[in-house]
Amino acid sequence: MKAILVNDDQSLRWDNVPNPIVKPEDVLVKIEYAALNRADLMQREGDYPPPEGCPDWMGLEISGEIVEIGDVAKEKSNWKLGDKVCALLGGGGYAEYVNVKYDMLMPVPENCSMVEAAAIPEAFATAYLNLFWEGKIKEGNTLLMNAGASGLASVIIPMAKAFGVRVITTVRKDNLAESIKHLNADVVVNTSKEDIVEVLKKELADGHGVDVAIDCLGGEIMGKCIHYLTHGARWIMIAALAGQKTEIDLKNIYVRNVRIVGSTLRSRTPEVKAQILSNLVKDVFPKVSQGLVKPTIYKVLPITEAEAAQDILYRGENVGKVVLKVN
């Protein structure tokens, strides 16, 4: 089969690799679409190695069709040949086929295309993990989700709204604010014109303080914003794209009982990931089928244009997910 490999100069090529060998707990999926994530860029640069036992090539989420099932997978699951599925991977999605442990698969939700299904596993599991497991968010709470035009925000914002959460988000340009209107965030802050710190200060004074923040930026602004959360709020760090250092008034943290939580999906055990996916199917997929939560697809490109697809992420021009068509 073929997969996308990284050359020594970090360029990409579509080349031959060994066919997957199906183990007893595995399900072999013929990949139709693979969605891109920022972690793919980090892996390409050598900063985010795949877990032990996973393929060396990139790709964390796919959709496709089951073409082979291992003996244990047959006993422990209800998967059948020909089932249309989406899957959360430790790696290996930029390829024609991939082995997936049976409990890392999910059915494609009703009223959801295969392109959309490919954009569900990593982003939706990350959203669910940080909203509900780490954030313990509840109906009526206020969420701060920065980088509102990012692929992850395009999932977190509508998911939060579907569960009755008020959402504040940020963008850097007017055109990005316009492009995310369909996400229905309650407050969109253009940080090139408004000071997010002042906005959060006013929200807190008006009784709409942030209960949960999901932060992929970090940097200096994180230390300023964290002063204006509700008592007992949670600030969840999932990345630090704007800088890995900040300055925090620690007294504000312990007096207001604020929790700072570091969180990545990839670092979780397979058992935890399987539980997250199970909860996702039970709690969120009905809202996907109803159209209340949908992946936002920015662009679909053929797998042979993976480098051009990743360039879109490097430039930060996408609003929603970039997806590769494989088969």
How far apart CA 88 and CA 90 sit, in angstroms, is 7
Per the CB < 8 A criterion, the answer to whether 111 and 135 are in contact is: no
Looking at the predicted structure, is the pLDDT value of residue 206 above 90? yes
Q: Domains in the chain, please, with CATH?
A: 2-120+295-325 (3.90.180.10), 124-262 (3.90.180.10)
Position 320 scores a pLDDT of: 82
Position 85 scores a pLDDT of: 98
How far apart CA 191 and CA 214 sit, in angstroms, is 17
Residue 100: what residue type?
V
Position 10 scores a pLDDT of: 96
pLDDT tens-digit readout, 26-69:
999 999 999 999 889 999 999 888 888 889 999 999 999 999 99
Position 128 scores a pLDDT of: 97
Position 318 scores a pLDDT of: 83
Position 218 scores a pLDDT of: 94
Position 312 scores a pLDDT of: 94
pLDDT tens-digit readout, 84-130:
999 999 899 999 999 999 999 999 999 999 999 999 999 899 999 99
Position 15 scores a pLDDT of: 97
Position 327 scores a pLDDT of: 87
Position 245 scores a pLDDT of: 95
Whether the predicted model's global pTM rises above the 0.75 cut: yes
Confidence of residue 152 (pLDDT cuts 50, 70, 90): confident
Average pLDDT over residues 188-209: 95
Per the CB < 8 A criterion, the answer to whether 216 and 238 are in contact is: yes
Per the CB < 8 A criterion, the answer to whether 93 and 37 are in contact is: no
Percent of the chain with pLDDT over 70: 100
Q: Which of these, 100, 141, 161, lies nearest to 284 by C-alpha position?
A: 161
Position 53 scores a pLDDT of: 86
Confidence of residue 203 (pLDDT cuts 50, 70, 90): very high
Per the CB < 8 A criterion, the answer to whether 274 and 255 are in contact is: no
Position 253 scores a pLDDT of: 95
Burial 68-91 (b: 16+ CB within 10 A, else e): ebbeebeeebebeeebebbbbbbb
The three state secondary structure string of the chain is CEEEEECCCCCEEEEECCCCCCCCCEEEEEEEEEECCHHHHHHHCCCCCCCCCCCCCCCCEEEEEEEEECHHHHHHCCCCCCCEEEEECCCCCCECEEEEEHHHEEECCCCCCHHHHHCCHHHHHHHHHHHHHHCCCCCCCEEEECCCCCCCHHHHHHHHHHCCCEEEEEECCHHHHHHCHHHCCCEEEECCCCCHHHHHHHHHHCCCCEEEEEECCEHHHHHHHHHHEEEEEEEEECCCCCECCCCCCHHHHHHCCCEEEECCCCCCCHHHHHHHHHHHHHHCHHHHHCCCCCCCEEEEEEHHHHHHHHHHHHHCCCCCEEEEECC
Distances (CA, A) of 85 to 34, 63, 174, 263, 323: 12, 6, 37, 26, 16
pLDDT tens-digit readout, 240-293:
989 999 999 999 999 999 999 999 987 898 899 999 999 999 999 999 999 999
Distances (CA, A) of 218 to 23, 58, 131, 140, 288: 41, 25, 18, 26, 30
Mean pLDDT of the chain: 95
